[in-house]
Amino acid sequence: MIGRRIGGALVVAVLASTAFAAGPWSVEQDHADMMRQLGITQLRPGANGDPSAPDAANYDEAKANPYPAWPDLLKMADGRPVTTAAMWREQRRPELIGLFEREVYGRIPASVAGMTWRVASVDREYFGGRPVLAQQLVGHVDNRAAPGIVVEVRATLVLPADAKATVPLLVMFAPARYPSPTQPNAAEAARLDTALKAVLISRDPTFASIFAAHPGFELVKPGSVFPPPPEDERVTKLIAAGWGVALLDTASIQPDSGAGLREGIIGLVNKGAPRTPAQWGALRAWGWGASRLLDYLGTRPEVDAAHVGIEGVSRWGKAALVTAAFDERFAMVLIGSSGEGGVKPHRRNFGEKVENLTGTGGYHWMAGNFLKYGTERGRLGHKTANDLPVDAHELLALVAPRLAFVSYGVPDQGDANWLDQQGSYMATIAAGRAWTLLGGHDLGRGNDYATAVMPSQGTDLLAGDLAWRQHDGGHTDAPNISHFIAWADRKIGRRSGR
Protein backbone atom coordinates (compact mmCIF):
# COMPACT_ATOMS: atom_id res chain seq x y z
CA MET A 1 0.00 0.00 0.00
CA ILE A 2 2.79 2.36 1.03
CA GLY A 3 4.77 1.38 -2.06
CA ARG A 4 1.82 2.14 -4.31
CA ARG A 5 1.29 5.47 -2.64
CA ILE A 6 4.93 6.38 -3.14
CA GLY A 7 4.63 5.21 -6.72
CA GLY A 8 1.55 7.43 -7.18
CA ALA A 9 3.34 10.42 -5.72
CA LEU A 10 6.28 9.87 -8.05
CA VAL A 11 4.05 9.75 -11.09
CA VAL A 12 2.39 12.98 -10.00
CA ALA A 13 5.76 14.63 -9.49
CA VAL A 14 6.99 13.61 -12.95
CA LEU A 15 3.78 14.79 -14.63
CA ALA A 16 3.93 18.06 -12.77
CA SER A 17 7.53 18.70 -13.75
CA THR A 18 6.95 18.01 -17.46
CA ALA A 19 3.79 20.09 -17.17
CA PHE A 20 5.53 23.33 -16.35
CA ALA A 21 9.15 22.82 -17.33
CA ALA A 22 8.47 25.38 -20.03
CA GLY A 23 11.66 27.42 -19.89
CA PRO A 24 12.00 30.65 -21.82
CA TRP A 25 9.66 30.76 -24.80
CA SER A 26 9.53 33.63 -27.27
CA VAL A 27 6.80 34.97 -29.54
CA GLU A 28 8.91 33.90 -32.51
CA GLN A 29 9.27 30.34 -31.23
CA ASP A 30 5.56 30.04 -30.55
CA HIS A 31 4.59 31.52 -33.91
CA ALA A 32 7.05 29.23 -35.73
CA ASP A 33 5.66 26.25 -33.83
CA MET A 34 2.12 27.07 -35.01
CA MET A 35 3.33 27.50 -38.61
CA ARG A 36 5.01 24.08 -38.35
CA GLN A 37 1.81 22.47 -37.01
CA LEU A 38 -0.12 23.91 -39.96
CA GLY A 39 2.58 23.13 -42.53
CA ILE A 40 2.93 26.81 -43.46
CA THR A 41 6.26 27.73 -45.04
CA GLN A 42 5.53 31.36 -45.91
CA LEU A 43 3.07 33.93 -44.59
CA ARG A 44 2.38 37.22 -46.36
CA PRO A 45 3.47 40.30 -44.41
CA GLY A 46 0.79 42.59 -43.00
CA ALA A 47 0.04 46.10 -44.24
CA ASN A 48 2.62 48.62 -43.07
CA GLY A 49 1.30 51.41 -40.86
CA ASP A 50 3.99 53.76 -42.16
CA PRO A 51 2.42 55.62 -45.12
CA SER A 52 5.81 56.16 -46.82
CA ALA A 53 6.69 52.43 -46.80
CA PRO A 54 6.45 50.56 -50.13
CA ASP A 55 3.99 48.11 -48.57
CA ALA A 56 1.99 50.88 -46.86
CA ALA A 57 -1.61 50.11 -45.87
CA ASN A 58 -4.20 50.96 -48.51
CA TYR A 59 -6.38 53.98 -47.76
CA ASP A 60 -7.90 54.32 -51.22
CA GLU A 61 -11.60 53.45 -51.00
CA ALA A 62 -11.58 52.50 -54.71
CA LYS A 63 -9.20 49.63 -53.92
CA ALA A 64 -10.69 48.66 -50.59
CA ASN A 65 -13.04 45.89 -51.73
CA PRO A 66 -11.04 43.22 -53.57
CA TYR A 67 -13.56 40.61 -52.32
CA PRO A 68 -16.92 42.38 -52.47
CA ALA A 69 -19.07 39.23 -52.12
CA TRP A 70 -19.24 38.52 -48.41
CA PRO A 71 -20.61 35.22 -47.06
CA ASP A 72 -24.39 35.40 -46.85
CA LEU A 73 -25.42 35.77 -43.24
CA LEU A 74 -28.79 34.17 -43.87
CA LYS A 75 -27.69 31.19 -45.93
CA MET A 76 -26.59 27.87 -44.47
CA ALA A 77 -23.24 26.52 -45.66
CA ASP A 78 -25.18 24.01 -47.81
CA GLY A 79 -27.03 26.87 -49.51
CA ARG A 80 -30.43 26.66 -47.75
CA PRO A 81 -31.84 30.10 -46.96
CA VAL A 82 -32.44 30.94 -43.29
CA THR A 83 -36.01 32.17 -43.21
CA THR A 84 -37.21 31.92 -39.62
CA ALA A 85 -36.02 32.90 -36.16
CA ALA A 86 -36.15 29.24 -35.16
CA MET A 87 -33.91 28.26 -38.05
CA TRP A 88 -31.45 30.96 -37.05
CA ARG A 89 -31.38 29.81 -33.43
CA GLU A 90 -31.33 26.08 -34.07
CA GLN A 91 -29.20 25.85 -37.21
CA ARG A 92 -27.49 28.97 -38.49
CA ARG A 93 -26.24 30.37 -35.17
CA PRO A 94 -24.67 27.03 -34.13
CA GLU A 95 -23.15 26.68 -37.61
CA LEU A 96 -21.58 30.15 -37.42
CA ILE A 97 -20.37 29.54 -33.86
CA GLY A 98 -18.67 26.34 -35.04
CA LEU A 99 -16.95 28.10 -37.94
CA PHE A 100 -15.76 31.05 -35.85
CA GLU A 101 -14.47 28.64 -33.24
CA ARG A 102 -12.63 26.40 -35.68
CA GLU A 103 -11.18 28.97 -38.05
CA VAL A 104 -11.03 32.34 -36.33
CA TYR A 105 -11.04 32.59 -32.52
CA GLY A 106 -10.56 29.00 -31.40
CA ARG A 107 -12.36 26.56 -29.16
CA ILE A 108 -12.31 26.54 -25.39
CA PRO A 109 -11.03 23.08 -24.41
CA ALA A 110 -13.64 21.01 -22.56
CA SER A 111 -11.16 20.39 -19.74
CA VAL A 112 -10.92 24.04 -18.67
CA ALA A 113 -10.98 24.23 -14.86
CA GLY A 114 -13.49 26.09 -12.74
CA MET A 115 -13.00 29.40 -10.95
CA THR A 116 -13.70 30.34 -7.34
CA TRP A 117 -14.21 34.02 -6.54
CA ARG A 118 -13.47 35.79 -3.29
CA VAL A 119 -13.62 39.40 -2.13
CA ALA A 120 -9.98 40.30 -1.36
CA SER A 121 -10.61 43.82 -0.02
CA VAL A 122 -13.32 46.46 0.28
CA ASP A 123 -13.17 50.26 -0.10
CA ARG A 124 -16.08 52.62 0.48
CA GLU A 125 -15.62 55.38 -2.08
CA TYR A 126 -17.50 58.45 -3.30
CA PHE A 127 -18.22 59.48 -6.87
CA GLY A 128 -19.57 63.00 -7.16
CA GLY A 129 -21.02 62.68 -3.68
CA ARG A 130 -22.59 59.29 -4.40
CA PRO A 131 -21.41 56.49 -2.08
CA VAL A 132 -20.14 53.36 -3.77
CA LEU A 133 -19.08 49.98 -2.52
CA ALA A 134 -15.83 49.03 -4.25
CA GLN A 135 -14.37 45.56 -3.93
CA GLN A 136 -11.29 43.84 -5.24
CA LEU A 137 -12.26 40.39 -6.44
CA VAL A 138 -9.91 37.52 -7.08
CA GLY A 139 -10.96 34.53 -9.15
CA HIS A 140 -8.79 31.53 -8.42
CA VAL A 141 -8.59 28.87 -11.12
CA ASP A 142 -8.12 25.29 -9.96
CA ASN A 143 -4.56 24.49 -11.09
CA ARG A 144 -4.03 21.10 -9.53
CA ALA A 145 -3.45 19.73 -13.04
CA ALA A 146 -0.40 22.00 -13.52
CA PRO A 147 0.55 23.62 -10.20
CA GLY A 148 3.34 25.64 -11.80
CA ILE A 149 0.82 27.77 -13.71
CA VAL A 150 -1.15 30.10 -11.48
CA VAL A 151 -4.20 31.97 -12.78
CA GLU A 152 -5.65 34.48 -10.33
CA VAL A 153 -8.11 36.70 -12.18
CA ARG A 154 -8.39 40.25 -10.86
CA ALA A 155 -11.51 42.37 -11.07
CA THR A 156 -12.76 45.49 -9.31
CA LEU A 157 -16.47 45.64 -8.61
CA VAL A 158 -17.97 49.11 -8.13
CA LEU A 159 -21.63 49.34 -7.03
CA PRO A 160 -23.70 52.39 -6.10
CA ALA A 161 -24.24 51.94 -2.35
CA ASP A 162 -27.50 53.88 -2.32
CA ALA A 163 -29.33 51.96 -5.07
CA LYS A 164 -32.99 51.24 -4.33
CA ALA A 165 -33.14 48.23 -6.67
CA THR A 166 -30.78 45.86 -8.44
CA VAL A 167 -28.46 47.67 -10.87
CA PRO A 168 -27.55 46.95 -14.48
CA LEU A 169 -23.80 46.55 -14.77
CA LEU A 170 -21.11 47.03 -17.39
CA VAL A 171 -18.09 44.72 -17.31
CA MET A 172 -15.18 46.69 -18.76
CA PHE A 173 -11.92 45.20 -19.98
CA ALA A 174 -9.67 47.58 -18.06
CA PRO A 175 -7.03 47.59 -15.30
CA ALA A 176 -8.63 46.27 -12.10
CA ARG A 177 -7.85 49.12 -9.70
CA TYR A 178 -9.93 51.01 -7.18
CA PRO A 179 -11.28 53.86 -9.32
CA SER A 180 -11.36 56.49 -6.56
CA PRO A 181 -9.49 54.97 -3.60
CA THR A 182 -10.00 56.41 -0.13
CA GLN A 183 -6.91 58.11 1.34
CA PRO A 184 -5.40 58.02 4.84
CA ASN A 185 -6.88 60.61 7.22
CA ALA A 186 -4.70 63.10 9.13
CA ALA A 187 -3.97 60.79 12.06
CA GLU A 188 -3.19 57.80 9.81
CA ALA A 189 -0.98 59.95 7.58
CA ALA A 190 0.91 61.30 10.61
CA ARG A 191 1.64 57.76 11.82
CA LEU A 192 2.82 56.69 8.38
CA ASP A 193 4.95 59.82 8.09
CA THR A 194 6.65 59.22 11.45
CA ALA A 195 7.29 55.55 10.65
CA LEU A 196 8.67 56.31 7.21
CA LYS A 197 11.04 58.98 8.54
CA ALA A 198 12.29 56.54 11.20
CA VAL A 199 12.97 53.89 8.56
CA LEU A 200 14.88 56.38 6.42
CA ILE A 201 16.96 57.58 9.38
CA SER A 202 17.79 53.96 10.27
CA ARG A 203 19.03 53.48 6.69
CA ASP A 204 21.04 56.72 6.72
CA PRO A 205 21.34 58.69 9.99
CA THR A 206 22.25 61.93 8.13
CA PHE A 207 18.59 62.19 7.02
CA ALA A 208 17.76 63.18 10.58
CA SER A 209 19.28 66.63 10.04
CA ILE A 210 17.14 67.19 6.92
CA PHE A 211 13.94 66.32 8.76
CA ALA A 212 15.07 68.50 11.70
CA ALA A 213 15.73 71.45 9.38
CA HIS A 214 12.23 71.15 7.83
CA PRO A 215 9.93 70.20 10.68
CA GLY A 216 6.77 70.81 8.64
CA PHE A 217 7.82 68.66 5.71
CA GLU A 218 5.57 65.60 5.31
CA LEU A 219 6.55 62.50 3.37
CA VAL A 220 3.01 61.22 3.73
CA LYS A 221 0.20 63.74 3.48
CA PRO A 222 -3.36 63.17 4.64
CA GLY A 223 -5.93 62.58 1.93
CA SER A 224 -8.15 65.47 1.00
CA VAL A 225 -11.62 65.41 2.51
CA PHE A 226 -12.77 65.77 -1.08
CA PRO A 227 -11.65 62.51 -2.72
CA PRO A 228 -9.80 62.83 -6.00
CA PRO A 229 -12.01 62.53 -9.07
CA PRO A 230 -11.85 59.07 -10.60
CA GLU A 231 -9.39 58.71 -13.44
CA ASP A 232 -11.96 57.15 -15.71
CA GLU A 233 -14.92 59.40 -16.55
CA ARG A 234 -16.77 56.41 -17.93
CA VAL A 235 -16.98 54.86 -14.46
CA THR A 236 -18.19 58.19 -13.02
CA LYS A 237 -20.93 58.48 -15.62
CA LEU A 238 -22.09 54.90 -15.17
CA ILE A 239 -22.24 55.27 -11.38
CA ALA A 240 -24.04 58.62 -11.70
CA ALA A 241 -26.63 56.88 -13.91
CA GLY A 242 -27.12 54.20 -11.26
CA TRP A 243 -25.15 51.46 -13.00
CA GLY A 244 -22.61 49.11 -11.50
CA VAL A 245 -19.19 48.58 -13.07
CA ALA A 246 -16.74 45.69 -12.99
CA LEU A 247 -13.21 46.34 -14.25
CA LEU A 248 -11.69 43.09 -15.49
CA ASP A 249 -7.94 42.77 -15.91
CA THR A 250 -7.32 40.70 -19.05
CA ALA A 251 -3.61 40.17 -18.30
CA SER A 252 -4.58 38.21 -15.21
CA ILE A 253 -6.57 35.80 -17.40
CA GLN A 254 -4.20 35.45 -20.33
CA PRO A 255 -0.99 37.39 -21.12
CA ASP A 256 -1.28 39.66 -24.16
CA SER A 257 1.57 38.05 -26.11
CA GLY A 258 2.37 34.92 -28.09
CA ALA A 259 5.20 34.31 -25.63
CA GLY A 260 2.55 33.87 -22.93
CA LEU A 261 0.49 31.16 -24.65
CA ARG A 262 2.08 28.47 -22.46
CA GLU A 263 0.91 30.42 -19.42
CA GLY A 264 -2.39 31.94 -18.34
CA ILE A 265 -5.61 29.98 -18.71
CA ILE A 266 -4.60 28.75 -22.20
CA GLY A 267 -1.28 27.41 -20.89
CA LEU A 268 -2.90 25.94 -17.77
CA VAL A 269 -5.34 23.83 -19.77
CA ASN A 270 -2.45 22.59 -21.93
CA LYS A 271 -0.28 21.99 -18.86
CA GLY A 272 2.33 24.32 -20.29
CA ALA A 273 2.44 22.86 -23.80
CA PRO A 274 1.97 25.11 -26.86
CA ARG A 275 -1.49 25.47 -28.45
CA THR A 276 -2.90 23.22 -31.14
CA PRO A 277 -4.41 25.01 -34.20
CA ALA A 278 -8.09 24.88 -33.24
CA GLN A 279 -7.56 25.96 -29.64
CA TRP A 280 -8.56 29.35 -28.28
CA GLY A 281 -6.62 32.55 -28.60
CA ALA A 282 -6.40 35.41 -26.12
CA LEU A 283 -9.66 37.07 -27.24
CA ARG A 284 -11.68 33.99 -26.33
CA ALA A 285 -9.67 33.50 -23.17
CA TRP A 286 -10.49 37.04 -22.06
CA GLY A 287 -14.12 36.38 -22.97
CA TRP A 288 -14.04 33.18 -20.93
CA GLY A 289 -12.81 35.23 -17.96
CA ALA A 290 -15.68 37.68 -18.47
CA SER A 291 -18.14 34.77 -18.52
CA ARG A 292 -16.73 33.49 -15.22
CA LEU A 293 -17.11 36.97 -13.76
CA LEU A 294 -20.72 36.97 -14.98
CA ASP A 295 -21.26 33.65 -13.15
CA TYR A 296 -20.11 35.40 -9.97
CA LEU A 297 -22.16 38.56 -10.60
CA GLY A 298 -25.22 36.33 -10.82
CA THR A 299 -24.68 35.45 -7.15
CA ARG A 300 -24.65 39.12 -6.05
CA PRO A 301 -28.05 40.35 -4.90
CA GLU A 302 -27.19 43.98 -5.84
CA VAL A 303 -26.77 43.12 -9.53
CA ASP A 304 -29.49 42.77 -12.15
CA ALA A 305 -27.83 39.78 -13.82
CA ALA A 306 -30.27 39.91 -16.75
CA HIS A 307 -28.79 43.30 -17.70
CA VAL A 308 -25.05 42.89 -17.62
CA GLY A 309 -23.06 44.27 -20.55
CA ILE A 310 -19.49 43.93 -21.77
CA GLU A 311 -17.25 46.76 -23.02
CA GLY A 312 -13.78 47.20 -24.46
CA VAL A 313 -11.71 49.43 -26.77
CA SER A 314 -9.22 48.37 -29.46
CA ARG A 315 -8.01 44.81 -28.79
CA TRP A 316 -10.47 44.82 -25.88
CA GLY A 317 -13.15 46.02 -28.31
CA LYS A 318 -12.52 42.84 -30.31
CA ALA A 319 -12.68 40.87 -27.05
CA ALA A 320 -15.95 42.54 -26.00
CA LEU A 321 -17.55 41.57 -29.32
CA VAL A 322 -16.23 38.01 -29.11
CA THR A 323 -17.49 37.72 -25.52
CA ALA A 324 -21.02 38.88 -26.36
CA ALA A 325 -21.14 36.84 -29.57
CA PHE A 326 -20.41 33.57 -27.78
CA ASP A 327 -22.07 34.11 -24.39
CA GLU A 328 -25.73 34.95 -24.79
CA ARG A 329 -26.10 35.79 -21.11
CA PHE A 330 -24.51 39.19 -21.81
CA ALA A 331 -27.47 41.44 -22.51
CA MET A 332 -25.49 44.14 -24.28
CA VAL A 333 -22.11 45.10 -25.70
CA LEU A 334 -20.26 48.37 -26.27
CA ILE A 335 -17.66 47.70 -28.95
CA GLY A 336 -15.04 50.46 -29.02
CA SER A 337 -12.73 50.95 -32.04
CA SER A 338 -12.35 47.22 -32.60
CA GLY A 339 -10.83 47.13 -36.13
CA GLU A 340 -9.49 43.92 -37.69
CA GLY A 341 -10.55 40.84 -35.71
CA GLY A 342 -13.48 42.93 -34.43
CA VAL A 343 -16.16 44.64 -36.54
CA LYS A 344 -13.84 45.41 -39.50
CA PRO A 345 -14.51 42.99 -42.38
CA HIS A 346 -11.61 40.61 -43.06
CA ARG A 347 -12.37 40.89 -46.76
CA ARG A 348 -11.74 44.66 -46.84
CA ASN A 349 -8.30 45.95 -47.78
CA PHE A 350 -8.29 49.23 -45.90
CA GLY A 351 -5.74 49.80 -43.15
CA GLU A 352 -5.11 46.71 -41.11
CA LYS A 353 -5.51 43.34 -42.84
CA VAL A 354 -5.87 39.67 -41.96
CA GLU A 355 -2.11 39.40 -42.53
CA ASN A 356 -1.51 41.80 -39.63
CA LEU A 357 -3.19 39.33 -37.31
CA THR A 358 -1.42 36.27 -38.68
CA GLY A 359 2.01 37.74 -37.88
CA THR A 360 3.75 37.80 -34.51
CA GLY A 361 2.02 41.01 -33.37
CA GLY A 362 -1.54 39.74 -33.11
CA TYR A 363 -1.80 36.03 -33.92
CA HIS A 364 -2.09 35.16 -30.23
CA TRP A 365 -5.49 36.93 -30.14
CA MET A 366 -6.79 34.41 -32.66
CA ALA A 367 -6.91 30.63 -33.09
CA GLY A 368 -3.80 29.13 -34.69
CA ASN A 369 -5.99 28.10 -37.63
CA PHE A 370 -6.42 31.77 -38.51
CA LEU A 371 -2.82 31.74 -39.77
CA LYS A 372 -4.03 29.72 -42.76
CA TYR A 373 -5.65 32.83 -44.23
CA GLY A 374 -2.37 34.70 -44.44
CA THR A 375 -0.57 31.81 -46.12
CA GLU A 376 1.41 32.37 -49.29
CA ARG A 377 2.94 28.90 -49.34
CA GLY A 378 2.28 25.75 -47.35
CA ARG A 379 0.77 22.31 -47.12
CA LEU A 380 -2.77 23.70 -47.35
CA GLY A 381 -1.92 25.96 -50.29
CA HIS A 382 -2.31 29.70 -50.83
CA LYS A 383 -5.19 31.24 -48.87
CA THR A 384 -6.53 34.76 -48.41
CA ALA A 385 -9.22 36.56 -46.45
CA ASN A 386 -11.64 35.50 -49.19
CA ASP A 387 -11.20 31.85 -48.17
CA LEU A 388 -12.53 32.51 -44.68
CA PRO A 389 -15.90 30.74 -44.38
CA VAL A 390 -17.23 33.66 -42.28
CA ASP A 391 -16.71 37.41 -41.90
CA ALA A 392 -17.09 40.13 -39.30
CA HIS A 393 -20.75 40.97 -40.03
CA GLU A 394 -21.60 37.39 -39.02
CA LEU A 395 -19.75 37.71 -35.74
CA LEU A 396 -21.68 40.87 -34.92
CA ALA A 397 -24.91 39.11 -35.96
CA LEU A 398 -24.30 36.50 -33.28
CA VAL A 399 -25.17 39.20 -30.73
CA ALA A 400 -28.70 39.60 -32.21
CA PRO A 401 -31.32 40.27 -31.01
CA ARG A 402 -29.48 41.62 -27.92
CA LEU A 403 -28.14 45.18 -27.67
CA ALA A 404 -24.99 46.00 -29.65
CA PHE A 405 -23.45 49.50 -29.84
CA VAL A 406 -20.64 49.90 -32.37
CA SER A 407 -18.44 52.85 -31.40
CA TYR A 408 -15.61 54.59 -33.23
CA GLY A 409 -13.83 57.93 -33.00
CA VAL A 410 -12.40 60.05 -35.81
CA PRO A 411 -9.01 59.55 -37.48
CA ASP A 412 -8.07 63.23 -37.08
CA GLN A 413 -8.41 62.84 -33.33
CA GLY A 414 -6.33 59.67 -33.22
CA ASP A 415 -8.78 56.84 -33.96
CA ALA A 416 -6.64 55.85 -36.92
CA ASN A 417 -7.91 55.09 -40.42
CA TRP A 418 -6.12 51.79 -39.83
CA LEU A 419 -9.29 50.59 -38.02
CA ASP A 420 -11.46 51.02 -41.13
CA GLN A 421 -14.47 52.88 -39.77
CA GLN A 422 -16.23 52.78 -43.15
CA GLY A 423 -15.76 49.00 -43.49
CA SER A 424 -16.99 48.50 -39.94
CA TYR A 425 -20.09 50.53 -40.79
CA MET A 426 -20.66 48.27 -43.82
CA ALA A 427 -20.41 45.20 -41.55
CA THR A 428 -22.90 46.74 -39.11
CA ILE A 429 -25.32 47.38 -41.98
CA ALA A 430 -24.91 43.78 -43.20
CA ALA A 431 -25.35 42.32 -39.69
CA GLY A 432 -28.70 44.10 -39.27
CA ARG A 433 -30.58 41.34 -41.10
CA ALA A 434 -30.19 39.07 -38.07
CA TRP A 435 -31.88 41.65 -35.82
CA THR A 436 -34.79 42.01 -38.21
CA LEU A 437 -35.19 38.25 -38.57
CA LEU A 438 -35.31 37.89 -34.78
CA GLY A 439 -37.89 40.64 -34.32
CA GLY A 440 -35.41 43.34 -33.25
CA HIS A 441 -34.40 46.62 -34.89
CA ASP A 442 -31.25 47.29 -36.86
CA LEU A 443 -29.70 50.67 -37.77
CA GLY A 444 -32.70 51.56 -39.93
CA ARG A 445 -30.51 52.24 -42.96
CA GLY A 446 -31.17 49.08 -44.96
CA ASN A 447 -28.82 46.14 -45.33
CA ASP A 448 -27.05 46.84 -48.63
CA TYR A 449 -23.51 46.90 -47.29
CA ALA A 450 -21.95 47.30 -50.74
CA THR A 451 -23.41 50.78 -51.20
CA ALA A 452 -23.52 51.83 -47.54
CA VAL A 453 -21.67 55.04 -46.75
CA MET A 454 -20.78 55.84 -43.16
CA PRO A 455 -22.80 58.81 -41.90
CA SER A 456 -20.97 61.93 -40.81
CA GLN A 457 -19.43 62.05 -37.35
CA GLY A 458 -21.95 62.63 -34.56
CA THR A 459 -24.89 61.16 -36.48
CA ASP A 460 -26.76 59.16 -33.88
CA LEU A 461 -28.02 55.83 -35.19
CA LEU A 462 -29.36 54.87 -31.80
CA ALA A 463 -32.99 53.99 -32.49
CA GLY A 464 -32.42 50.26 -32.93
CA ASP A 465 -31.15 47.40 -30.79
CA LEU A 466 -28.11 47.54 -33.03
CA ALA A 467 -26.58 51.01 -32.80
CA TRP A 468 -23.77 52.99 -34.41
CA ARG A 469 -22.11 56.22 -33.33
CA GLN A 470 -18.84 57.83 -34.33
CA HIS A 471 -17.86 60.35 -31.64
CA ASP A 472 -15.59 63.36 -32.04
CA GLY A 473 -12.70 61.97 -29.99
CA GLY A 474 -9.85 59.54 -30.60
CA HIS A 475 -9.05 55.92 -29.77
CA THR A 476 -11.44 55.65 -26.83
CA ASP A 477 -15.14 55.14 -26.25
CA ALA A 478 -15.39 57.69 -23.42
CA PRO A 479 -17.21 60.36 -25.51
CA ASN A 480 -19.83 57.74 -26.39
CA ILE A 481 -20.49 56.48 -22.88
CA SER A 482 -23.35 58.85 -22.05
CA HIS A 483 -24.96 57.96 -25.40
CA PHE A 484 -24.52 54.29 -24.60
CA ILE A 485 -26.10 54.66 -21.13
CA ALA A 486 -29.12 56.63 -22.41
CA TRP A 487 -29.64 54.15 -25.26
CA ALA A 488 -29.30 51.06 -23.05
CA ASP A 489 -31.54 52.51 -20.31
CA ARG A 490 -34.20 53.28 -22.89
CA LYS A 491 -33.94 49.81 -24.41
CA ILE A 492 -34.19 48.00 -21.09
CA GLY A 493 -36.99 50.29 -19.92
CA ARG A 494 -35.18 51.99 -17.07
CA ARG A 495 -34.90 55.60 -15.97
CA SER A 496 -31.25 56.74 -15.68
CA GLY A 497 -29.99 57.57 -12.20
CA ARG A 498 -32.41 55.32 -10.35
Interacting residue ranges for ligand GCU, rule: CB under 6 A? 314-315, 339-341, 352, 356, 362
Which of 100, 243 has the CB closer to ligand GCU? 100
DSSP 448-471: -TTT--PPPTT--B-SSSEEEEE-
Q: State the pairing for strand pair 167-173/303-313.
A: parallel
Question: Shortest Cβ distance from residue 141 to ligand GCU (Å)?
Answer: 25
Q: How far is the CB of 406 from ligand GCU (least distance, A)?
A: 14
Length of the chain: 498
Q: State which residue, 176 or 321, has the beta carbon closest to ligand GCU.
A: 321
Q: C-beta of 248: minimal distance to ligand GCU in Å?
A: 16
- Minimum separation from the CB atom of position 395 to ligand GCU (A): 15
Residue number, 354 or 397, with CB nearest to ligand GCU: 354
- Least Å distance, CB 386 to ligand GCU, is 20
Give whole-number Cα distances, 200 to 49, 196, 431, in Å: 49, 6, 63
Q: Which is nearer to ligand GCU, 273 or 410 (CB)?
A: 410
Between residues 314 and 480, which has the closer beta carbon with respect to ligand GCU?
314
Q: Which is nearer to ligand GCU, 263 or 415 (CB)?
A: 415
Contact 333, 406 (CB under 8 A): no
- Of the pair 415, 489, the CB lying nearest ligand GCU is at 415
Q: Is 58 exposed, middle or buried (0-12, 13-18, 19+ CB in 10 A)?
A: middle
Give the integer Cα–Cα distance in Å for 318 and 340: 8
Q: Which is nearer to ligand GCU, 279 or 356 (CB)?
A: 356
481-491 helix and 233-240 helix, angle to the nearest 10 degrees = 30
d(CA 241, CA 235): 10
214 C-beta neighbours (distance < 10 Å), count? 9
Report the nearest approach of ligand GCU to the CB of residue 1 (Å): 56
Backbone φ and ψ of 406, nearest 5° = -95, 120
Q: Write out the DSSP string of 286-329.
A: HHHHHHHHHHHHTT-TTEEEEEEEEEEETHHHHHHHHHHHH-TT
Least distance to ligand GCU, CB of residue 356, Å:
5
R_g of the chain, CA atoms, integer Å: 25
CB 372 to ligand GCU: min, Å: 19
The span from the CA of 470 to the CA of 367, in Å, is 30
Minimum separation from the CB atom of position 369 to ligand GCU (A):
18
Cα separation of 281 and 365, whole Å?
A: 5
Residue whose CB is less far from ligand GCU, 232 or 489: 232
